[in-house]
Amino acid sequence: MNRDLSLDILRGIMLIIMAADHFGEPVFQHLYEFAGYVSAAEGFVFLSGMLVALVYSRYHNAGGALLEQRVWHRAGVIYLYHLMVLLAVFVFTVLTDISGAYWKSFATEMQAEPIRGLLSGVFLTYKPPMLDVLPLYVILMLFAPFALRWMTQYRHVGVTMVLLGSGGIWWAAQYMFGDTLQALLPGALMLRTGAFHLLGWQFVFVLGMVLGFLRFDSKDAFPRVNGWLVALSVALVVYLFLQRHGYLHEAAQHSPLLAWLQEYRHIARDNMAWMRLLNFLAFVYIAATLIALHKRYGIFNWLALPGRWLAFLGQHSLQVFAYHLVVLYCYIPFRWGDWALSDNQKWVLLVVFLASLSLPAWWHQRYLKQKKASANRDLQDKRINAMGALPQSC
C-alpha cells in the first residue's frame, strides 16, 4: 500500500460512511458517530488538507505564482461542482413547491425564497443540509497557498507559525467569534452556516496540511509508532465511545468531573470543540499506526479487492461526493410519507446506492483518459508540423 493508495482508500472509506449517513433510515441510527464524537466529515476534511500539501508543495520551487495558480484552479473546480449541485437542488426544491408535493426539500429556506436562496448559495453564505462541505473546502483552498508558502519556505519555523495561527483561530471559534464576522455580511444574503463553522473546522484542514507537508519534507518517511501514544489513543477513544453512547450517564450523576465533560460546549460539532478534536486526533494516530503495521506486516492484504474499489472512489472523491448529494435530494420523496419505502426496501436501495457511487468515478476516469489522449494527439500534431516546417537538406 503506497502513500497515495492508502490515502485514497481512506478517502473512499470516508465517502462510503458519509453517503450511508446521509442516506438516513434505517442505517443512520446505527452508523452516525458510532465510534464516539467523531464522524467521516472530520476525516474527509483532514485528508483533503493532507493531500493538498502532498500534491502542491512541490510547486514552491517552480518560481512565480505557480503554486497559487494550481491550488486556486482546484478551488475553482470545486466551486464549479458546488454550483452544479446547488442548481440541481434548486430545481428539485422549486419543482417540489410548484407541484404541491407532500414532501419538503431539505433546503427549506430556499423553498420559501428560491431566488434569494440560490444567489446566497452562489456567494457561499447559504448552505442547505449536506451542501456545506464543498463551500467549506472552497474557502479553505483559497487560503491554503499562504500556509504552504510559510511551511515550504521556513520549514519547521513555518510549521510552528501556521499551527499557532490556525490554533488561535480555532480558539476564537470556541467563543463564537465567527458570529461577529457573519454580522458584517450584507443583509440581502441569506445566512445559513451549515454544520461546519469555518473558523473551527479550518484547524482540522490545517492539521492535515501540516502532516502532509511533514511527509513531503521527509521524502515520504513514515514516523515511528509510539506504543504509549497508541495505548493513550485507544483509551481515549474507548472512554469517549462510552460517554457518547450513554454508558457513563449514571456515573456522571455522582461525579462532577464526568458531568462537566458531558456538557455540550466540550463536544460541540459545529465549532469543533476540544473533546471532539481530541477524539478525532486519537483516531488519526490509531489509523497511522495501522497503516504502519500494514507497511511492515501486510495485515490488510486480505482486503486488497475492496481496497482497490475504495481507492478508485477516493481518486475521484469530488465527483462521487457531488453525485451522492444530488441523488439523496431526489430520494427525499421515498424516505417518508405516502411514497415511503419499507425498511427492507431501504436496505436494498442503500446497497444499490453505494454501488452506484462507482458511476461518477468511472465517468470521470474515462473523461481524464480522453482528455489525456486528446492532449497527446495535439502534441504529436505539433511535432509533425514543426518537422514539416524545417528546411529540407539537399
pLDDT band, very low/low/confident/very high, at 176 (cuts 50, 70, 90): confident
> How far, CA to CA in Å, does 156 sit from each of 2, 24, 151, 211, 284?
25, 44, 7, 12, 21
Q: Does 3 score more than 60 pLDDT? A: no
Number of neighbouring beta carbons within 10 Å of residue 69: 13
Q: Which residues, listed in sequence order, are joined to residue 126 by a DSSP beta bridge? A: 192
33 against 70, higher pLDDT: 70
Contact status, residue 200 vs residue 170, Cβ threshold 8 Å: yes
pLDDT band, very low/low/confident/very high, at 2 (cuts 50, 70, 90): very low
Q: Does 177 score more than 80 pLDDT? A: no
pLDDT band, very low/low/confident/very high, at 389 (cuts 50, 70, 90): low
The tens digit of pLDDT for each residue in 185-231 reads 777 888 888 889 999 999 999 999 999 999 888 876 666 788 899 99
C-alpha count within 13 angstroms, C-beta hemisphere, residue 76: 6
Question: Cα-atom radius of gyration of the chain, to the nearest Å?
Answer: 23
pLDDT band, very low/low/confident/very high, at 362 (cuts 50, 70, 90): very high
Q: Which of 203, 197, 204, 207 is nearest to 271 (CA)?
A: 197
Per-residue pLDDT, 382: 79
Contact status, residue 131 vs residue 122, Cβ threshold 8 Å: no
Residue 393 DSSP class: P
Q: Which of 77, 117, 75 is nearest to 93 (CA)?
A: 117
Q: Which residues, listed in sequence order, are joined to residue 192 by a DSSP beta bridge? A: 126
Per-residue pLDDT, 326: 97
Q: Of 34-43, 176-185, 299-308, 341-350, which has the strongest mean pLDDT?
A: 341-350
Q: What is the mean pLDDT of residues 263-285?
A: 94
Per-residue pLDDT, 4: 60
**Is the pTM above the cut of 0.85?**
yes
68 against 3, higher pLDDT: 68
Per-residue pLDDT, 194: 84
Q: What's 265-327 look like in SS3? A: HHHCCCCCCHHHHHHHHHHHHHHHHHHHHHHHHCCCHHHHHHHHHHHHHHHCHHHHHHHHHHH
Per-residue pLDDT, 223: 67
Q: Quick one: cell of 249?
A: 450517564
Mean pLDDT (the chain) is 91
Contact status, residue 8 vs residue 365, Cβ threshold 8 Å: no
Q: Does 33 score more than 90 pLDDT? A: no
The tens digit of pLDDT for each residue in 117-134 reads 999 999 999 999 999 999
Percent of the chain with pLDDT over 90: 72
pLDDT band, very low/low/confident/very high, at 28 (cuts 50, 70, 90): confident
Per-residue pLDDT, 391: 63
Least confident residue range of 98-102, 108-112, 233-237, 381-385: 381-385
Start-end of H helices in the chain: 3-23, 28-31, 40-56, 66-99, 108-112, 114-122, 133-174, 177-182, 198-217, 227-244, 249-252, 256-261, 264-267, 274-297, 304-315, 317-330, 343-356, 358-389
CA separation for the pair 353, 128 (Å, rounded): 22
Q: Does 334 score more than 90 pLDDT? A: yes
Q: Does 394 score more than 90 pLDDT? A: no
The tens digit of pLDDT for each residue in 41-57 reads 999 999 999 999 999 99
Per-residue pLDDT, 107: 93
Question: CB under 8 Å to 64, separation ≥6 — which residues?
Answer: none
